[in-house]
Structure 1
Amino acid sequence: MRLVSSAENSSLDWEAQYPYIEDIGDGRGYTAGIIGFCSGTGDMTEVVKRYAKARPGNPLERFLPALRAVEGSAAHTGLGRPFTRAWAKAADDPAFRAAQDAERDAVYFDPAVRQAEQDGLGALGQFIYYDAYVMHGAGDTEGTVGFRTMRREAMAAARTPARGGDERAYLDAFLDARVAAIGREPSHSDTSRVETAQRVFVREGKLGLETPLRWKVYGDAYRIDAG
């Protein structure tokens, strides 16, 4: 989570990101929370639905119709400042933080780690898959290349460890596919979260994410030491 937060929030303090919300101008509407749930992609709606189930009548629940209406667009119709203030305030509620955790795990973390384990990858590969899920999603959408396409392209270039391939060679192939995917997306262009972070760990052979870890994202330097 700290590694992903360095790219998503320019901070290692991922737990401080529950109240975060803004429109970053990427065509996905509001981006918010611990991994950047978006109003335009629908996962933000799912977070609010989970919260409504746990805490009926909470201040975010009334925005569900507006959230459903703006899915697939960058619009803020029916949301705006009342919504962003309610989101930030809701982060004080453990039930809202749990809703974010649950959506992260169900849609991004668990599928990424499960697929990485099936491909014979260690902790580094699991993180690389997870970060791709967070940034691109599982499947292709209009203007976006998803995780499954990246994995298919990587497997065409190198065998996974589960199929007898070299782990570092396969991870390099996956990162090549991801860099190509970023280049095809109009809302993304900077590849530093790959080239000056994940590729560094592959080159150093830190397949288990052995500390200390040193990397850069968007020009900012980070470090995680043991413990």
Structure 2
Amino acid sequence: MLVSRRLVVALAAAGALVAVPLAVWANAGPAAEAATNALLSRGRPAEASSVESPDLPAADAVDGDPRSRWGSEEGADPQWISIDLGARSTITRVRLRWEAAYARQYSIETSPDGAAWTPIYSTRRGDGGTDDLTGLSGSGRYVRMSGTARGTKWGYSLYEFEVYGTTSHSAGRASQGAVSPSPAATTSAARPSATTAAPATPATTAAPGTGLDDPAKKEIAMRLVSSAENSSLDWKAQYQYIEDIGDGRGYTGGIIGFCSGTGDMLELVEAYTQRVPGNALAKYLPALRKLDGSDSHAGLDPGFTKDWKAAAADPQFQKAQDDERDRVYLNPAVTQAKADGLGALGQFIYYDAMVMHGPGTDPVSFGGIRKAAMAKAKTPAQGGSEPSYLSAFLDARAAAMRTEAAHSDTSRVDTAQRQFLNQGNLDLHTPLTWKVYGETFHIP
């Protein structure tokens, strides 16, 4: 569990499960539309988040053989399977032929580069069999099925994943192998002041209704992080941050406040050492293992903070921080938010709560806060109102914060998250203006 000093906002993993009324269910076979829309996916490269066994690869879902299939790891959510169409294409129809292990809740998403995904269809009422989704409106080189809730105790399994539409060959030649620039490459490197000005807005523009997997919204989220924790919107300057803030968790460091007393700093240094054996922090691993659950600095002083700051200049250490942030906090929070039917703001709210309070189930951990909220309001996935549920969650979150002196200032909830909610900004659209601990910030 990380420290309250770090305002960490929800980033995405897979596309948000929002209601996208762009498809209708039909029973027509593939020949009905073949005259005007070609089958684009047959024999194309496919990959998946996991496979149940080597004889159930992703490629078997696009081979045209109705007997072969892809199967994911059993009992695990979320899972996905994606197809590379080879060129930018217009997607009008997707046909999914499920094995017994089907998705109850899933989305169909498109991407120009295999990194940023846009949902063009979603459902929370999948029932297996054959899903013939017609009337779709989307485009991209990549198409994936992203499952977030299984319909059985097993995994996800498809006999066939068919994508129909038209391909722009000229666009395909131009974009073949191209990758969209990351937020890091399109954002000004200048450090903003501690007041209101944001650096140049990323070149990537968030599409209406996209989730926090959108690169532009991820950049916005990280600036929100840094506004609370560092009185700055320059979150990339925080890889080198390290200090003991006196909250009983030892040293706090990095972009989301990995702590020497809560185990996540240990996991970060272990991950970094796997990538770069013999790095400057590797020698502190025995001490970090002993300090889990303690606020002591034994075995770390006097050189740890100096070595941390030196390591922060290594891109591999920066990447390790990014990856551990996502693995430990971001992905579980966003997965749960999507399962509860929440959009970008809800993912942001869940992530911040999980980072501060930890993913446990006691009353002051994320699970306990969510349970308290669900006792007051239904989630959207249960048929409830998204604003009403998020308001109940923020009430429960603020109450949990007040039980700890280090977390008792609830302005990160009251004048940022709740303000966005009261404005009806469930998708975190810009412009954004908010206050944290009395300071005003703005992203145009």
Q: Percent identity?
A: 65
Q: In the alignment, is the contact (CA less than 8 A) between 1:49 and 1:61 conserved in 2?
A: yes
The yes-or-no answer on 1:160 pairing with 2:379 is yes
Structure 1's 180 and 115: CA in aligned 2 closer, same or farther, altered over 3 A? same
Structure index of larger Rg: 2
Equivalent in the alignment of 1:10: 231
In structure 1, the partner of 2:337 is: 116
Q: Secondary structure at the match of 1:111?
A: helix
Q: Distance in 2 between matches of 1:133 and 1:60?
A: 26
Q: Quick check: 7-16 or 70-79, which moved more?
A: 7-16
Q: Secondary structure in 1 aligned to 2:303?
A: helix
Give runs of aligned pairs for residues 96-175 of structure 1, distance below 5 A: 96-139=317-360, 145-175=364-394
In the other structure, the counterpart of 1:177 is 396
**Alignment correspondent of 1:61:** 282
Q: Describe the superposition over 1:1-22 as per-residue Cα deviations: whole angstroms up to 9, x where unpaired.
A: 1112222222211111000000
CA distance in 2, matches of 1:13, 1:7: 11
Match for 1:78: what amino acid?
G
In structure 2, distance between residues paired with 1:136 and 1:11: 23
SS at match of 1:69: helix
Cα shift readout 1:12-48 (whole Å, capped 9, x = no counterpart): 1111100000001111111100000000101000110
- 1:71 Cα deviation (Å)? 1.1
**Partner SS for 2:425:** coil
Q: Which residue of 2 aligns with 1:213?
A: 432
Counterpart in the other structure of 2:297: 76
Higher strand content, 1 or 2: 2
State the shift of 1:186 in Å.
Answer: 3.4
Distance 1:204 1:111 in 2: 27
The one-letter code sitting in structure 1 at the alignment partner of 2:395 is D
Cross-structure match for 1:189: 408
Q: Is the 8 A contact 1:27 1:187 kept in 2?
A: no
User: Which of 196, 204, 227 pairs up with 2:423?
Assistant: 204
Instruction: String of CA shifts for 1:165-220, please: whole Å, max 9, x gaps.
Output: 11111000000000010011232210000001100000000000011111111111
Per the TM alignment, residue 109 of structure 1 is displaced from its structure 2 partner at its CA by: 0.7
Residue 257 of structure 2 corresponds to residue 41 of structure 1: no
Deviation by residue 1:64-93 (Cα, 9 ceiling, x = unmatched) = 011111111111111123000000000111
RMSD: 1.2
In the alignment, structure 1 segments of 5+ residues that lack a partner are none
Deviation string, structure 1 residues 65-124 (Cα, Å, up to 9, x no partner): 111111111111111230000000001111101111111000111111111111110100
Q: Following superposition, which runs of at least 4 residues in structure 1 exceed 3 angstroms of deviation?
A: none
Question: Pick from 251, 255, 260: which aligns with 1:30?
Answer: 251
8 Å contact kept, 1:28–1:73: yes
The residue number in structure 1 matching 2:272 is 51
Residue aligned with 2:441, SS: strand
Q: Output the CA distance in 2 between the equivalents of 1:66 and 1:72.
A: 12
Q: 2: distance between equivalents of 1:176 and 1:19? A: 34
* Larger helix percent: 1
1:140, distance to aligned residue in structure 2 (A): 5.2
Higher relative contact order (CA 8 A, sep 6+): 2
AA of the residue aligned to 2:414: E
**Relative to structure 2, which stretch is displaced further, 72-81 or 28-37?**
72-81
Helix, strand or coil at the partner of 2:240:
coil
Note if contact 1:145-1:185 (Cα within 8 Å) is conserved in structure 2.
Answer: no
Whether 2:242 is the aligned partner of 1:21: answer yes
Q: Is this contact kept in 2: 1:113–1:129, CA < 8 A?
A: yes
> Does structure 2 conserve the Cα–Cα contact (< 8 Å) formed by 1:41 and 1:72?
yes
Equivalenced residues, count: 223
Indicate whether 1:86 and 2:321 are aligned.
no
